[in-house]
Structure 1
Amino acid sequence: MIRLVYLFALTFCLMAGASVAAEMESMPSADPVFAATLADFDGKPVPLAELKGKLVVLNFWATWCGPCRTEIPHLIEAQEKYGPRGIVFIGAAVEDNADSVRDFGKAYGINYTVAMAGKDQGIALLRALGNKIAGLPFTIVLDRQGNIVAAKRGIMTPARLQQILDPLL
């Protein structure tokens, strides 16, 4: 039984690793992003088509996600550094309780736009963007031409984000 559990865990890790490699080898189309409409905390539509022509860091996260909680302070710092230089940061919360997300954002001092992707729509969008297991956090970077130039499931480190963003400015 222990061997079976070990084999299952090993297989899962290998499959997840292959998925990450596939995400980085070829970038998916950004069409699903521009077709999506998220919502603000009051349920008002936030059409992502408005991001066309802008440099964008779009981060999918959830309040219950430990790695997301680790990553958010890095994104806050990046917003302080790159926001004034024209890069738009958006946090897409993959959950349904807007009050919980709003309270979390205040507690963490999130200084960039947060919109509600919702659980079902968020998972569908993650998968459409190549994140087949819908793992969080998941970050994509869009250039001004609307192309995904970077995609990362897991924590986006400040060094990696700088490496991606600096050449785009």
Structure 2
Amino acid sequence: MIRKFASILSLGLLATVAHAAEGIDTAALFSASLTGLDGQPVAMERFRGRPLIVNFWARWCAPCREEIPELVRLDAAQGADGIEVIGVAIEEADKLEAVRDFAKTYNMSYPVFLAAKDGIPLMKALGNPQAGLPFTVYIGRDGKPTGSKMGVVRRADLEASAQALLR
């Protein structure tokens, strides 16, 4: 009975995630160049062809801090399956040191980038017209979005999305 409920719940989450894929322009992500924690520019094109969970966050965002441990857990559990978690900090380049310290404090084992002035337009292109945080986008190997979520991602959200990304 529990397994059946979990399957129904998972299918419901997948339906919600899949529906949310409308209006997402992943070309904006893959054409972006963001700043790595080493201060160097990184072309997001290098992540094309991988299943991605792209999470937009900020240090001052309490809900963002709440969800980071789940993203770290998923990265550790699904990394071998090829799913790549990417953190995009909505921070200016002069906050690099603070973001680097934050990422270390929260054990963010996945790649973290600073979006600076490109963060808000990038979130809007990815289907977040209000540019609210936290915001997460799920992108398949084919570069097409499988969904997005505004607000805190929970374990169930991430597990359902990971299943969809690995199909």
Instruction: Name the TM tier (shorter chain).
Output: 0.7 to 0.9
**For 1:40 and 1:33, how far apart are their aligned partners in 2?**
15
**For 1:168 and 1:63, how far apart are their aligned partners in 2?**
27
What is the correspondence of 1:22-33 to structure 2 with a 5 Å cutoff?
24=20, 26-33=22-29
Give the 3-state SS of the residue equivalent to 1:126 in structure 2: helix
Residue in 2 that maps onto 1:100: 98
| Identity score, percent | 40
C-alpha displacement at 1:78, in angstroms? 0.5
Residue in 1 that maps onto 2:76: 80
- Per the normalisation by structure 1, the TM-score is 0.82
Residue in 1 that maps onto 2:142: 145
Deviations 1:104-133 (A, max 9, x none): 111111111111111x21011111112111
**For 1:63 and 1:102, how far apart are their aligned partners in 2?**
11
Residue in 1 that maps onto 2:112: 114
Give the 3-state SS of the residue equivalent to 1:140 in structure 2: strand
One-letter amino acid matched to 1:124? P
C-alpha displacement at 1:43, in angstroms? 2.4
Q: Does the CA-based 8 Å contact 1:27-1:150 persist in structure 2?
A: no
C-alpha displacement at 1:27, in angstroms? 4.1
What is the correspondence of 1:46-85 to structure 2 with a 5 Å cutoff?
46-85=42-81
* Count of residues paired in the alignment: 147
Question: Which of 129, 134, 137 in structure 2 is aligned with 1:132?
Answer: 129
**For 1:55 and 1:164, how far apart are their aligned partners in 2?**
10
- Per the normalisation by structure 2, the TM-score is 0.83
Q: Does the CA-based 8 Å contact 1:27-1:149 persist in structure 2?
A: no
Q: Which runs of 5+ in 1 are unaligned?
A: 1-22
**For 1:28 and 1:167, how far apart are their aligned partners in 2?**
17
Question: Which of 14, 34, 37 in structure 1 is aligned with 2:30?
Answer: 34
One-letter amino acid matched to 2:146? V
C-alpha RMSD over aligned residues: 1.6
Q: Does the CA-based 8 Å contact 1:27-1:148 persist in structure 2?
A: no
Deviations 1:37-64 (A, max 9, x none): 1011232111111111111111010000
| Worse overlay, 36-45 or 92-101 | 36-45
Structure with greater contact order relative to length (CA < 8 Å, sep ≥ 6): 2
Give the 3-state SS of the residue equivalent to 1:152 in structure 2: strand
Instruction: Mark the structure with the bigger radius of gyration.
Output: 1
Give the 3-state SS of the residue equivalent to 2:20 in structure 1: helix
Q: Does the CA-based 8 Å contact 2:88-2:112 persist in structure 1?
A: yes
Runs (4+) off by over 2 Å: none
Deviations 1:124-154 (A, max 9, x none): 1111112111101110011010001011111
